[in-house]
Amino acid sequence: MTKVTQAHIDARTEAILDAAMKMIVQKGVHGATIEEIAAEAGLSAGAIYRYFASKEDVLRAVIAQQMKQDRALMEQALASTDSVLHALLSAVQAVWAGLKSEKARDETILSLETTLAAARQSAELGAERRQMRKAEITMLEQCVRQAQEAGEIDPAVDGRALAVMLLACHLGAHQLDLELQDSADTDALLAGVIKMLHKFAPQVKKEEEHKPCHPPSWTDRIARKERYS
């Protein structure tokens, strides 16, 4: 007899999560109220509770979704196989390219909000977050190791150290991008990272052959980049 399909329920759930993400970004985890989230999702406050057991539950779902997307993004970026160094560079560039996207700011804020929530609230969330970071580091490390075996990166380099540095650069770049807003110079940062990776190569001469995929030549655009006001 029910006309309301599972698809409808899923759509609503999705809408609530989107609305919640938007409000969290705008007002923060505590500042976002259920009423606002509901209004943003086109519902009344009470209706939220047909889809989530509590506000905390909504928050958890938002965070979980964001973490899943985060990891998927990196996995996918590292999936290229022709040259490991190439893949690494592609990954770096793909992630960096995200900074330019519309939702970058929101995602960064949400990520920081998650970091704080994980650092403070439930130990469970913290553990989950730690697992995610470890997995990310391990993925990067394997990538670096493969590049070393392929002779693309100096075998003397500590793979893990480089992986951690890359991840830190990634996280810091997002934060800087958020803080510097329009005047951010993340292109310069990308160029720096790429140059650094090349410096780690055994031979310094292959500096030109990797020319990236989708975002056409970030490196080139650095020169055109306006200086800070």
Chain residues in the site for DNA (CB under 7 A): 1-4, 8-9, 12, 31-35, 38, 43-47, 49-50, 53-56
The answer to whether 165 and 196 are in contact (CB under 8 A) is no
Q: Shortest Cβ distance from residue 168 to a second copy (Å)?
A: 3
Write out the binding residues for a second copy, residues 78-97 only, by CB under 8 A.
none
The answer to whether 73 and 95 are in contact (CB under 8 A) is yes
Q: What is the DSSP letter of 79?
A: T
What is the dihedral sign for C-alpha 127, 94, 82, 151? negative
Nearest one of 87, 113, 95, 100 to 24, comparing CA atoms: 113
Residue 172 touches which of DNA, a second copy, none (Cβ within 5-8 Å per kind) = a second copy
* 160 forms part of the interface with a second copy (CB under 8 A): yes
Q: Shortest Cβ distance from residue 188 to DNA (Å)?
A: 40
Nearer to a second copy, 76 or 121 (CB): 121
Nearer to a second copy, 15 or 164 (CB): 164
What is the dihedral sign for C-alpha 61, 63, 65, 67? negative
Residue 45 touches which of a second copy, DNA, none (Cβ within 5-8 Å per kind) = DNA
Name the burial class of residue 69, with classes exposed (0-12), middle (13-18) and buried (19+) by CB atoms within 10 angstroms of its CB.
exposed
* 52 forms part of the interface with a second copy (CB under 8 A): no
Residue 49 touches which of DNA, a second copy, none (Cβ within 5-8 Å per kind) = DNA
Among 161, 202, 206, 217, binds a second copy (CB under 8 A): 161
CA angle 200, 201, 202 (to 5 degrees): 115
Q: Shortest Cβ distance from residue 29 to a second copy (Å)?
A: 7
Q: Which CB contacts under 8 angstroms, 24+ apart, belong to 37-41?
A: 41/12, 41/15, 41/16
Write out the binding residues for a second copy, residues 204-223 only, by CB under 8 A.
222
Nearest one of 226, 228, 201, 211 to 89, comparing CA atoms: 211
Q: What is the DSSP letter of 120?
A: H
Residues at the contact surface with a second copy, assessed by CB under 8 A: 25-31, 105, 109, 112-113, 115-116, 118-120, 126, 129-130, 133-134, 137-138, 157-158, 160-162, 164-165, 167-173, 175-176, 178-181, 183, 185-186, 188-189, 191-193, 195-196, 199-200, 222, 227-228
